[in-house]
Structure 1
Amino acid sequence: MKKNCLTLILFFMFSIGYVHSNESPDIWDFYKVSKNSVSGGGSDSERESLIERYSKIKLILIDGEVIVDTICFIAYETTTDIASPLSYWKTTEKVEEYKKIFSEEKIPLGYQFEAIKFPNNDKDDLCLKEGLTDLIRIDNYFVFLTKSGYLITFSKRIEKNNGSPVTYRGFNYKIPNREFSWFGHPMLTNKKIVDDMNKKCDFPDDGSYYNSYFYNECDLHELASYFSKVSETLFDKKKVIYQKGEYQYNLTKKPHKEFGFEMYLNIEKDNKLIDRLSIYSWRILDSAAFIQYYYIDEDFKNIWLLNYVGSEETHDIEKWRHYKIDNSGHFKLLESISCENRDKQGIVKCHND
C-alpha cells in the first residue's frame, strides 16, 4: 500500500497532455449480474467474482465508442447490427436458452436488438481477455454476454454528465493547471465539496483508476496535483509567507518517519510564537494514506482544512474545518464537519460537530 500511495502522489506530479471532446457522454451504471448462467451451470463464486469486478464499473458512450471504464473499449458505431434472436444465435435451441435467462432477469429480448459481436480471433482484444464475448443493447440496458455464461447488465443513467465538454485522451485524463500559491487551494472554502467528493471519489486509492473516465470528476485529483508543490519544496527552517505589522506568519515542516510529513502555520509576534496550526500533512501507512489540505484567505483572517483517507477500496473525506484568526493572532474554530467510514452501500454519512 505504501508503494501504491507513493505512486499515486508521483502520478499527479507528472500528469501530461489532454484533448477536448465537445460531445456530452451517455453513461450507464452497473445494474446486476444474472442469478444463473445461460447453461444453468456456473457457481456462486464465479458470480460473486463478476459482481466484485464490475460493481463500480460504468459504461460511457461517447465519440462512437463504448468505454468499459478502466477495462476496455468497443467501436460501437462501426460494429453494431440490428439483429433478431434467431439471426444472432442461429439455432432455436440457443434462442430459447437466452430468452429464458433474459426473462428471468426481466429484460425481454423482443424481436430485434442492437448487437455488437467482438472479434473472436483477436487475441489482444482487452474485452475478450476479460471474458466478455458479446454486447447487446435493449432499450435502456447494455448487456454483456460472458464466457462463463452469466449476463452483466448496465442500466442507463437518467441524467447526462452535466452536459459540459469532457477532457480526455483515450483512457488518460488531465486536470486544469492552477498556479501554485502557499495560501493553498480556494476550493476548500465551499463545504459542499465534502458530500460531492464522498460521492464522486468512491474508487480505490491503489492506482487502478488512473485511467478511469470518472477519475477527473473527483476533485481530490486536482488537490493532489496542486499540493504536490508542497511535497517538492524543501525548507529547513521557516518560510515566511505573510507579514502584517508586528505579526509574522511562517511555515515550518516536521517529518513523519519514512513516509510523510506535517506542515504548520505559525503566528509570531516579536519573534515569539503566539499560536500554531497543522495545515498540511500526508502519512502513508500499510493500510491507507492520510492527507490534509488547506486554504488561507488573502487577508489572513480565515483558514479551511480538509482531511481525507485513501485506501485500497475507496476514498473518504474524514473532516472539513473552518478557522478564524482573531485580532490577537490565535486560531478559533468556527465550523467543523466530521464523516463516518463509507458503509457497505457506498454511502458516507457526515454531520456538524
Structure 2
Amino acid sequence: MRFSFDLNATDGKARSGIISTPRGEIRTPAFMPVGTAATVKAMMPHSVRETGADILLGNTYHLMLRPTAERIDRLGGLHKFMNWERPILTDSGGFQVMSLAALRKLTEKGVTFKSHIDGSKHEITPERSMEIQRLLGSDIVMCFDECPALPADRDAIAQSMRLSMRWAARSRDAFGDRPGHALFGIQQGGLERDFRSESAQALIDIGFDGYALGGLAVGEGQAAMFDVLDYAPDMLPQDKPRYLMGVGKPDDIVGAVARGVDMMDCVLPSRSGRTGQVFTRRGVVNIKNARHADDPRPLDEGCRCPACRSYSRAYLHHVFRSQEIISSMLLTWHNLTYYQDLMAGMREAIAQKRFAAWQSDFEAGRAQGDIEPM
C-alpha cells in the first residue's frame, strides 16, 4: 500500500479528507500530538489513541542525540520502540538546531552544532537527516530546512529560503524511492509573499508527497501568521496534504483550517497540562487558582476524558498544588481530548457545509469565559 491523500469535502477554503498509509488512515484536518523523545509526556500510547489521535510526531534532533537513531533501528524502529503502531511523522531537526543547539555553524553542506545535552559535536545535512529518519522508520519524513527566527530582513529571509530549497532537492534525492513512506517539502519565505511564491514553485518543481508551511509561529504573532495563511496554502497543490508546522493554540488551529490547512502539531496541549493550564469549550482554565479548591464540578461537563468523567476541579486543583504525577496525566489527557474533539468537530462541520457556523459557535463559546465560581 502506498501513501495517498483523498480530499473528501470542502467548505470555503476548509478541507477534510483521508491520508492513507500502510500503518493506518489519518483523518484531516488532523492534530498531531508531539512525542518529542519517543513519548507523549505523561501519557501511555493507548491513552493517546483513545483521545482520537491518528498520528504522532517524533523529533529527529532529540532522538538522534538520545538514544540515537542507530540504536532505535537496532531495536526494531521507532514504532516498536515506543509501542505506537499507527503513523508517525518525524520533523527534520532544522528547527531544533536553530532554537536549541549551541555554537551553530551553517554552511551550504549543512549545520554543525554542539548538543544542548552534553556539548558533543554533531552535523546534520539533508542526507544525514534523511538517513536518521529512515533509521527511525517514520511514515512521513520532512525534508531538511533552515528556519530563521522572525523578525528578519528580506535579504536574510531570501538567502535562508533559497538555501532551504537547495536542501529540499538534496533531501528528495537522498530519500529515494520508499513505497509506503512519504516525503514532505517545506515552504519558507517568512512573511514575504513573493518569497513564499518562489519557494512553493521550487518545491512543486522538485515534487513531494505533501507540503508544509514552515517559518511561521516563530514570533511573528497570530495576525501576521494569518496574513500569510490567507494566500500561502493556495500556492501549494490542491491534491496534496498541507501541514502547518508548530501550531498551536485552539484559535490558531481553527483559523488555519479555515484557510486551507490539513495538518498541525504543537507541544502546547501536553506542556500546558503539566503546568496547570486547561483548554475547555469556554476558554482557558488555570487549575492552580484558589477558586477551584472547593469546586465539586468537572472541568467541562461535556468532555469525555477521564479527568472530567471521574474527578472534580477540587481534586485536580489539589493534585496539581501537591505536585502529584496524576495531575500531569489527567490534565494532559484532557487537553489532548479537547484538541482531538476540536478536529472532529471541524471535520464534521466541513462535511456538512456548515464550517462558518461551527466557527462562530466555537468563538462564542470561548468568549463566555469559565463557569462562575461557586
Q: Which of these two proteins has the greater Rg computed from alpha carbons?
A: 1
- Structure ranking higher in strand proportion: 1
- Structure ranking higher in helix proportion: 2
Question: What's the TM-score, normalizing by structure 2?
Answer: 0.27
Question: What's the TM-score, normalizing by structure 1?
Answer: 0.28
